[in-house]
Amino acid sequence: MTAPQGARILIVDDEPQIRKLLKVTLQAHQFEIHECADGEEAVIQASIVHPDLIVLDLGLPGMSGMDVLQRIREWSQVPVIVLTAKEREEDKIAALDGGADDYVTKPFGMGELVARIRVALRHVAKTTDEPVLRFGSLTIDLAQRQVDLDGSPVKLTPTEYEMLKVLATHAGKIITQRQLLQQVWGGHHHESDSHYLRVYVGHLRKKLQEDPTRPRFIQTEPGIGYRFLLQD
């Protein structure tokens, strides 16, 4: 796998100013940059240059960002970070459910975008069959189904454990409410089921001794889902 530094990134945005901003900054961070301004070209470029990551603007003229994502997902698992204008929660959810790895809201801070890019690239590089996940004082032993916090075991219900597992194996990445419901409870879920999640996350947070107003592990992404925080 390609290391984060020097990774090849494809930027898809119709605004020249934003492309320029992204190109200059990301090149300064030692990434190799390819860029294009519309959806059709993006699909072609994705298959020619084989980028390690794609930064995709959802609001493209002509072929929309969502269509581009769908076309790319037909044959590639390359990480995709979507750029959106803040107003549309449903766009972000649709993109994440449709296979995007993360989103960044316009206007964004460059530091945030670079951090997200790093997480997404690292996630690909990381082997998923690692049996023990460590996050600071929290250890999750996937083989033993054992969770330890500060050296002492945490008693979790099966559902709580499943939730923690799904979140932690995607650490740093956002998991939408629907994805979480599907992976923990299985089957089809309605949007209104999301309050199960709130209650379970509340219980999980209590057991992990988290202050909901200052989360240490599980961060709520308003209106979208949850993100397990990477401990630095």
Partner 1 sequence: MQQVLALLPLTSFFVPPFLSFTVEDLRYMFSFIVYLAVAVLTASLAGRLRQQLEVVKQREITTNSLYALSRQMTAVTDLHTLLGNIVRQVSLTLGAPAAIYLPNAQGELQVTSSSEDSDSIAWGEGEAEVAIAKWVYKHGEIAGRGSSSLRESSGLYVPLRTEDQTHGVLAVNLESSDLQEQREELRLLEACGGLAASAIARVKLAEEARLAQVTAESERIRTALLDSVSHELRTPLTAIIGSATGLLENDSLFTPEDRKELTGNIRDGALRMNRLVTNLLGMVKLESGMLQLRRKWCDVGDMIGIVLTQVQQFIQHRRIRVELPDQPPFVSGDEVLLEQVLVNVISNAIKYSPEDSEIVITVKVDERHGRMTIVVADSGVGIPEAERERVFEKFYRSESSRHVTGTGLGLAICRGIVEVHGGTITAEPNPGGGTRVCICLPTEEPEASFPYMGQGEEE
Residues in the site for partner 1, rule: CB under 8 A? 86-87, 89, 107, 109, 145, 155-161, 191-192, 194-196, 198-203, 211-215, 220, 222-223
Closest contact distance (angstroms) between CB of 177 and partner 1 is 9
Nearer to partner 1, 150 or 193 (CB): 193
Nearer to partner 1, 188 or 214 (CB): 214
Closest contact distance (angstroms) between CB of 89 and partner 1 is 6
Nearer to partner 1, 183 or 220 (CB): 220
Closest contact distance (angstroms) between CB of 107 and partner 1 is 6
Nearer to partner 1, 130 or 193 (CB): 193
Query: Helix or strand or coil: residue 231?
Result: coil
**DSSP annotation string for 4-57:** STT-EEEEE-S-HHHHHHHHHHHHHTT-EEEEESSHHHHHHHHHHH--SEEEEE
What is the helix (H) or strand (E) element at residue 207, kind and residue range?
A: helix 194-207
What is the helix (H) or strand (E) element at residue 168, kind and residue range?
A: helix 158-169
Longest CA span, the chain: 56
What is the helix (H) or strand (E) element at residue 163, kind and residue range?
A: helix 158-169
Round to whole Å and give the CA distance between 139 and 132.
7
Nearer to partner 1, 59 or 215 (CB): 215
Closest contact distance (angstroms) between CB of 84 and partner 1 is 14
Place of tokens 């945030």: 112
Closest contact distance (angstroms) between CB of 184 and partner 1 is 10
